[in-house]
Amino acid sequence: MQRIKEYYQAFLAEQTPPGAIFAAKTENCRITAYKSGKILFQGKGAAEEAERWKTTGKILEPAAKTAKRNDLPANIGFLSVIGSDEVGTGDYFGPIVVAAAYVKKENIRKLEELGVRDSKHLSDKKIAAIAGEIKDWLPHSLLVLKNEKYNDLQESGMSQGRMKAILHNHAIGHVLEKIAPEKPDAILIDQFAEERIYFGHLEGQKEIHRENVYFSTQAEGIHPAVAAASILARYAFLLHFEQLSKLAGLPLPKGAGEEVDKTAAKLMLDKGAGFLRKVAKLHFANTKKAWNLAKSMKKHSS
């Protein structure tokens, strides 16, 4: 009951009916919680609103029971959380973008209404629209690791996992600075490596943020802070991707499939092999495949 009240904090009504602990009114639904333990959902959005609490219970229960999720606090979905996520790690073309965002518990509902919760199936257009709605007021940090720097680091022997860990740690640090002296109840990282490995990657870093840090796969379904970070990162990635496409003079494909090999081969022939350093992650197998393709294309044309 307390959790539900916190969730609707921004929508609480000043007056409560007799026998009620609290009442709240959202756009489509009136919620009244009674001392007896009963909660009434009324209005057009009632079914949907009540369903939220059934679903939430289902999601939170296994999360709390699974040790793999590093014993997340059972109520983490209702806390004030810094979430972080990254984009671009599996794409041959384009940078890696890592974002961290802070969502206070009283803003959880607002973000969900903006459609922030499930970003996996959002179109690029929707990503841009939501990013536009939140970027000016939501405390966040965006870090872009451009291709040239990425290739330098990779060639110096740094693994992609280490790059990601360092970027997450930095982004979280920036957000902690932005919101200080306020502190989040928890920090939730969309898991790309086990906790032990993540902190291993960070050895030697000046400042390592460990306090209240939790890891979970599919963390964007657990707290909208991770979903917001994911949306902001994807939006930044898309903007950079557009710029790189302009630089290349053709639309770059995402991912790391055959279309990518063909495009990379074309760029090698048109712009020289050195150009890829600025737009691609050179250590991917695509570089070699593109090289072979380019050689055979050259032969056929001569």
Q: How far is the CB of 217 from Mg ion (least distance, A)?
A: 8
Q: How far is the CB of 222 from Mg ion (least distance, A)?
A: 12
The window from 66-74, 77-85, 160-168, 259-267 that contacts Mg ion (CB under 5 A) reads 77-85
The window from 180-188, 189-197, 198-206, 259-267 that contacts Mg ion (CB under 5 A) reads 189-197
Cis peptide before 251 (omega within 30 of 0): no
The window from 25-33, 49-57, 63-71, 80-88 that contacts Mg ion (CB under 5 A) reads 80-88
The window from 119-127, 130-138, 152-160, 182-190 that contacts Mg ion (CB under 5 A) reads 182-190
Q: Are 197 and 164 in contact (CB under 8 A)?
A: no
Under the binding rule (CB under 5 A), the answer on residue 190 touching Mg ion is: yes
Nearer to Mg ion, 49 or 220 (CB): 220
Q: How far is the CB of 40 from Mg ion (least distance, A)?
A: 38
Q: How far is the CB of 258 from Mg ion (least distance, A)?
A: 25
Please identify which residue in the block is written with the tokens 């495949």.
Answer: 289
Contacts 24+ apart (CB under 8 A), 108-113: 108/7, 108/77, 108/78, 108/223, 108/224, 109/7, 109/8, 109/9, 109/10, 109/11, 109/26, 110/10, 111/138, 111/224, 111/227, 111/228, 112/224, 113/27
**CA-to-CA distance for 110 and 50, rounded, in angstroms?**
17
Q: Are 277 and 284 in contact (CB under 8 A)?
A: no
**CA-to-CA distance for 99 and 225, rounded, in angstroms?**
10
Nearer to Mg ion, 94 or 267 (CB): 94
Nearer to Mg ion, 49 or 190 (CB): 190
Q: What angle do CA 158, 215, 229 make, to 5 degrees?
A: 80
Nearer to Mg ion, 91 or 190 (CB): 190
**CA-to-CA distance for 257 and 250, rounded, in angstroms?**
17
Nearer to Mg ion, 28 or 217 (CB): 217
Nearer to Mg ion, 80 or 84 (CB): 84
Q: How far is the CB of 150 from Mg ion (least distance, A)?
A: 17
Among 8, 23, 63, 85, indicate the residue that binds Mg ion (CB under 5 A): 85
Structure tokens at 53: 């609490």
Under the binding rule (CB under 5 A), the answer on residue 220 touching Mg ion is: no
Q: Are 281 and 148 in contact (CB under 8 A)?
A: no
DSSP assigned state of 94: S
Q: How far is the CB of 85 from Mg ion (least distance, A)?
A: 4
Q: How far is the CB of 190 from Mg ion (least distance, A)?
A: 4
According to DSSP, the β-strands at 96-103 and 213-216 are unpaired
Q: How far is the CB of 12 from Mg ion (least distance, A)?
A: 34
The window from 49-57, 78-86, 131-139, 175-183 that contacts Mg ion (CB under 5 A) reads 78-86
The window from 2-10, 82-90, 123-131, 282-290 that contacts Mg ion (CB under 5 A) reads 82-90
Q: DSSP secondary structure string, 179-238?
A: HTT---SEEEEE-SS-HHHHHHHTTT-S----TTEEEETTGGGT-HHHHHHHHHHHHHHH
Binding to Mg ion by CB under 5 A, coded x per residue (else -) over 23-62, reads ----------------------------------------
**CA-to-CA distance for 38 and 20, rounded, in angstroms?**
9
- Nearest position to Mg ion, beta carbon: 190
Structure tokens at 185: 């109840």
* Chain residues in the site for Mg ion (CB under 5 A): 85, 190
